[in-house]
Amino acid sequence: MEKSLKQQTVTGVFWSAIEQFGFLGIQFITTIIIARILTPADYGLIGLLTIFTALGMTITDSGFGQALIQKKDVTEIDYSTVFYTNLVLGLIIYFILYLCSPLIANFFHTPELEKISKWVFLVFPINSIGIIQYTIITKNVNFKALTKISVISSIISGIFGISLAYNGMGVWALVYQNILYYFLKSILLWYYNHWKPSLNFSFKSFKNLFGFSSNLLGTSMIIILFNNLYTVLIGRFYAINEVGYYNQAYRFENIPASTLTTIIQRVSYPILSTIQNDNERLKSGYRKIINQAVFFNFPLMIGLIVIGHNLFDVLLTAKWLPAVPYFQLLCVYGALFPLQSINVNILKVKGKGGTLLKLEILRRIIMILVILITIKHGIIVLLIGNIFTSVLSISINMYVCGKEINLKILEQIHDIIPYLLASIISSGAMFLIDLLIQPVNLIFALIIQIIIGAIIYLALSEILKLRAYLEIKEIIKMKKNEKK
């Protein structure tokens, strides 16, 4: 059992990593190319609709996917019930937001949003067709199939978006690219998973699943509302260019910050659900997960703070440099992201959706209070307030989630401190290199910074005997022996 679980985890993480890095790598390259053509205002227009698309996607799924993964004895009737629920919700959400498009345009004082939003919201019914297929593939830990689906959809839609941008389509290049991505993704999900719905809908099944999913839905909606609140506030109170700068900064920060966390979180949830009643194994598994997450995330995010200016100048050109201060502050938040995100997996595994919802409500109350204090003092102060909110809410989460598996908050802090110190030291070296080389050649300075930073961090990991580093070495050694 233990060996099977370990093998399943390693395989799942491997293919999930390929999928995430493949998808985000393609998206990253596509964004760089298109952003060099389009204006910050073009990205600002799409950014204003992000909160609506994110909420629509969440309501369409309504947490049923997570409920099916968590449930051990899933039936065909359960799958069919959720399929039809997702489909109906996708259509309802689209028509509601279609009718609200004039109100959205008026709220942001941007008339062109009315037409744009009617097209952007088409992703809801398109995506709803493939949600249950995605859930089944995830429950089976078949991330190899998801990798193919994600990469193929990203490449085709990315090439399409780039060609539209080069042909002067402006913001519509982003709109049509997104629609094509979800269309291809839904088709491929059906191609790689051969499950088909029966003509059955069970209200009993719906009720049982919704008992678990409703709390997750409420939690997810709160998370999305507040994750996108800064975009809404910036769009409402500042120029649309600022929305473009902020969203591009957020995109560049979010790719590395969320990728590793998403990989580990998505793979660990279905696997840890199988040992949900064994607190000792959960505690051990959780500590390993956090160690692995911060091992990669801390040096990455702190390093990005140092190279932020050079990175934007080289990749996006000087027209995007006003986004750099936003990016650097968001990277501080990004460094903390795994601690916030992975913690809640314990509550999900334990079926404590109610506790999770209460924690999110408390976190958002704190966030609102901080926003009310900082909103009038500019975007920089607003984002500093976000960092303060994150530190406070993470501390609360670590305490509450730790109690579920008898893991004290001081033990959790003790686990992550060595990774933080190693990351700060290696990033400090990157900063000194920039002072010496940057005036000579910007691109050369960026490359040298990254190489030296990585070498110093790995050397410190060896010297300090960081737990995650040693475990990765062991896995690599095991893989080499298997090949022999």
Joined together, the tokens standing for residue 25 give 């790598």
Write out pLDDT tens, residues 45-104.
Answer: 888 898 898 888 888 877 776 677 766 677 777 778 878 888 888 899 999 999 999 999
Residue 415: pLDDT band with limits 50, 70, 90: confident
Same-domain pairing of 353 and 477: yes
- Give me the mean pLDDT over the 263-282 stretch: 65
Domains: count for the chain: 2
Same-domain pairing of 276 and 221: no
Residue 302 confidence (pLDDT) above 60: yes
Same-domain pairing of 307 and 233: no
Same-domain pairing of 326 and 219: no
User: Which are the contacts of 122, defined by CB distance < 8 A and separation ≥ 6?
Assistant: 94, 179
Residue 44 confidence (pLDDT) above 90: no
Alpha helices in 273-352 (DSSP H): 279-316, 324-349
Is residue 319 domain-resident? Answer: yes
Instruction: Note whether 47 and 169 are within 8 A (CB).
Output: no
Question: Which of 216, 237, 258 is where one domain is finished?
Answer: 237
Rounded Cα distance between 115 and 134, Å, is 30
Residue 457: pLDDT band with limits 50, 70, 90: very high
Residue 327: the pLDDT is 93
Q: What is the DSSP string of 402-471?
A: HHHTT--HHHHHHHHHHHHHHHHHHHHHHHHHHHHHTTT-HHHHHHHHHHHHHHHHHHHHHHHT-HHHHH
Same-domain pairing of 366 and 306: yes
Q: 324, 329, 332, 326: which is closest to 308 by C-alpha?
A: 324
Is residue 242 domain-resident? Answer: no
Query: How does 159-192 read in b/e, with b if 16+ C-beta sit within 10 Å?
Result: ebbbebbeeebbbbbbbbbbbbbbbbbbbbbeee
Distance set, CA 20 to CA 27, 175, 388, 421 (Å): 10, 22, 29, 27
Residue 14 confidence (pLDDT) above 70: no
Same-domain pairing of 335 and 297: yes
Range of the domain at 349: 267-484
Is residue 245 domain-resident? Answer: no
Residue 271: the pLDDT is 62
Rg (CA), the chain: 22
Is residue 32 domain-resident? Answer: no
Joined together, the tokens standing for residue 461 give 């990991």
Question: Which of 221, 237, 253 is where one domain is finished?
Answer: 237
Residue 47: the pLDDT is 85
- What is the percent of the chain with per-residue pLDDT over 70, rounded to a whole number? 85
Is residue 114 domain-resident? Answer: yes
Question: Which of 194, 217, 237 is where one domain is finished?
Answer: 237
Residue 226: the pLDDT is 77
Joined together, the tokens standing for residue 421 give 């110190």
Residue 144: the pLDDT is 74
Residue 194: the pLDDT is 78
Write out pLDDT tens, residues 122-141.
Answer: 999 998 888 888 887 877 76
Residue 2: pLDDT band with limits 50, 70, 90: very low
Same-domain pairing of 393 and 348: yes
Question: Higher-confidence residue: 38 or 6?
Answer: 38
Q: 354, 342, 263: which is closest to 10 by C-alpha?
A: 263
Residue 9: the pLDDT is 54
Residue 280: the pLDDT is 72
- Give me the mean pLDDT over the 136-154 stretch: 79
pTM over 0.75: no
Residue 353 confidence (pLDDT) above 70: no
Give the distance, in angstroms, between the CA of residue 412 and the centroid of all CA atoms in the same chain: 23
Residue 265: the pLDDT is 67
Is residue 93 domain-resident? Answer: yes
Residue 141: the pLDDT is 63
Give the distance, in angstroms, between the CA of residue 272 and the centroid of all CA atoms in the same chain: 20
- Give me the mean pLDDT over the 175-193 stretch: 91
Q: 110, 141, 6, 107: which is closest to 474 by C-alpha?
A: 6
Same-domain pairing of 317 and 191: no
What's the CA dihedral at 345, 472, 431, 436 to 10 degrees? -160
Residue 161: the pLDDT is 93
What's the CA dihedral at 190, 262, 206, 89 to 10 degrees? -70
Please report which helix (H) or strand (E) contains residue 265, including its range: helix 240-272
Give the distance, in angstroms, between the CA of residue 435 and the centroid of all CA atoms in the same chain: 33
Write out pLDDT tens, residues 307-328.
Answer: 998 889 888 888 899 999 999 9
Is residue 224 domain-resident? Answer: yes
Residue 17 confidence (pLDDT) above 70: no
Instruction: Note whether 352 and 404 are within 8 A (CB).
Output: yes
Q: What average pLDDT does the chain have?
A: 82
Residue 1: pLDDT band with limits 50, 70, 90: very low
Same-domain pairing of 273 and 224: no
Residue 381: pLDDT band with limits 50, 70, 90: very high
Same-domain pairing of 69 and 195: yes
Residue 86: the pLDDT is 84
Instruction: Note whether 19 and 151 are within 8 A (CB).
Output: yes
Which single residue is written with the structure tokens 């009720």? Answer: 207
- Give me the mean pLDDT over the 150-158 stretch: 89
Residue 270: the pLDDT is 64
Rounded Cα distance between 160 and 165, Å, is 9
Which single residue is written with the structure tokens 């990277």? Answer: 331
Q: 93, 90, 81: which is closest to 210 by C-alpha?
A: 81
Residue 115 confidence (pLDDT) above 70: yes
